[in-house]
Amino acid sequence: MAATASIALIIRTDPLTSAVPVEALRIALGLAAGENPITVILMGPAVHLLAEESDDIVDLEILEKYLPSFEHLQIPFILVYPSGPRPDVQEGFAVTVGTVDSARQAMEAADRVLVF
């Protein structure tokens, strides 16, 4: 049996202007279905993926299909907020508020890092 490799998946693209962040979450969910532990790091505007007010997210209907699985599986998220007002985050997710430094540490600790 092959050894498991931990994965840090970083999303920093703005989900209000691009479909890439929702697609990155879809990829993260697929990776989480395997044996490898995964941590999703949402940086800057990407924190809107878990915001209570998400009506302006590109591909919102797809996001709404995937979020319950993240909640059910308790896949860990690290949120690195942008400067300025912070969106209210939905409850039920395994969320840790982090800093750029804690995100860097999570990346260094992972065996694989994907950035979107």
Q: The pTM is what?
A: 0.94
The domain total for the chain is: 1
Distances in Å between the alpha carbon of 16 and those of 39, 43, 47? 22, 14, 11
Asked if residue 1 is part of any domain, the answer here is: no
d(Cα 77, Cα 111) in Å, to the nearest integer?
17
Could you read off the pLDDT of 6-36 as tens digits, one per residue? 999 999 999 999 999 999 999 999 999 888 8
Domain that residue 45 falls in? 7-115
CATH number of 29's domain: 3.40.1260.10
d(Cα 93, Cα 76) in Å, to the nearest integer?
8
pLDDT at 3: 61
Asked if residue 27 is part of any domain, the answer here is: yes
Asked if residue 2 is part of any domain, the answer here is: no
